[in-house]
Amino acid sequence: MSASICPRRLLLWLFAAWFVVLFTAPLIGGQTLDFRELWSGDPTTATIFWQLRIPRVLLALLAGGSLAAAGMSYQTLFRNDLAEPYTLGVAVGAALGVVIAIRLAPAGSFFGLSWTSFASFLGALAASALVFGLAQRRRSAVGSTLLLAGIAVSLSCTALILFIQYLSDSTQTFRMVRWTMGGLAVVGYREVLWLLPWLFGGSFVLVRSRWELDLLLTGEELAASRGVDLVRLRLTILAATSVMVGAIVAVAGPIGFVGLMIPHILRRWIGPTHRFLLPACLLAGGIFLALCDSAARVVMAPAELPVGILTALLGGPFFLWLIFFERSD
């Protein structure tokens, strides 16, 4: 579909909206904050704003943008509109790491992260490595082989998760299920600062690969004839996105459908050129997740709805529309 919005103008609007969300979303929640109380120095309002709300919104902006950018790269790499960061079993691998940690790991932290977060990160990376290793064993790294390997790894990890839950007590099982709902509740900036190098590093790799991804849109044969090493490109993109998604899942749990919806919508608005599509995904994905998290904080106030549930409620109908109706547009 041809672009209907000027890409540069859309990027300016998204950039402005990103900052508007950064400064307004922290005011929204079970307890609505007032800027006048914040500037007057009220200690309770200041603590909620600076130690709870701002870190949470920053986490949503960074995580949502990275998930959308990863989804964009998967949809291009596999030439499949339904591809997204969890297609290759990254989230399920992370979940397997978490349930193993909940079942076996001691209390405490490791390298500044809880054992569950550290195990989640390792599980995501291990699942991605296994998928690519299985594809390489067949001497193939084509998109269809990687997708099939991802499905197989996801099913195997899911079976292991159910087995470990069966062996666990009720408290451990509750913790496992609650983690899979996803959530952005943090206190302070430790998680945000820990995420920054992984997300910036992965985004930098995607930015450097934007021209090769553009060539891939013309077809694998034509891209290869113009010097694109398809195996190296797929390995590079898979490694970069796995690190990004693994780090996000380690901190926030699995938050699905952001990487499916945002790139697809933006591609219809501004076209497939990654020079504009990548920064648009980084901005719009963060805005979308921050708004979803704000809604999740108030929809069941004073209780909070896990944001992963809300994105799934929105993503499910979008997924069905994408399958059954978008083709006929």
pLDDT digits (tens, 9 = 90+) for 304-315: 899 999 998 988
Instruction: Give me the long-range contacts of 297-300 (CB less than 8 A, separation at least 24).
Output: 297/28, 297/29, 297/30, 298/28, 298/29, 298/30
User: Considering the chain, what is the average pLDDT of its residues?
Assistant: 87
Identify which has the larger pLDDT, 139 or 206: 206
> 101 pLDDT exceeds 70?
yes
pLDDT at 2: 47
pLDDT confidence tier of residue 209, bands split at 50, 70 and 90? very high
pLDDT confidence tier of residue 285, bands split at 50, 70 and 90? very high
Strand partners, 114: 109
Task: State the alpha helices, DSSP H only, in the chain.
Answer: 7-24, 35-39, 43-47, 54-77, 90-104, 115-137, 143-167, 170-179, 190-208, 210-216, 220-225, 230-252, 258-270, 274-298, 307-324
Rounded to an integer, what distance in angstroms lies between the CA atom of residue 152 and that of residue 135? Answer: 11
> 220 pLDDT exceeds 50?
yes
**Average pLDDT estimate for 265-278:** 92
pLDDT at 35: 79
Identify which has the larger pLDDT, 165 or 78: 165
pLDDT confidence tier of residue 108, bands split at 50, 70 and 90? low
pLDDT confidence tier of residue 138, bands split at 50, 70 and 90? low
- CA nearest 73: which of 251, 231, 272, 270? 272
pLDDT at 109: 67
pLDDT at 140: 55
**Average pLDDT estimate for 171-186:** 88
pLDDT at 40: 82
Furthest CA-CA distance within the chain? 65
Identify which has the larger pLDDT, 158 or 34: 158
Query: First CA to last CA across the chain, in angstroms?
Result: 10
**Average pLDDT estimate for 60-70:** 96
pLDDT at 234: 85
Q: Are 243 and 110 in contact (CB under 8 A)?
A: no
pLDDT at 141: 54
Amino acid at 185: A
Rounded to an integer, what distance in angstroms lies between the CA atom of residue 176 and that of residue 101? Answer: 10
Whole-model pTM: value is: 0.91
pLDDT at 100: 92
Q: Are 278 and 72 in contact (CB under 8 A)?
A: yes
pLDDT at 1: 45
Least confident of 69-73, 81-85, 268-272: 81-85
pLDDT at 118: 84
110: helix, strand or coil: strand
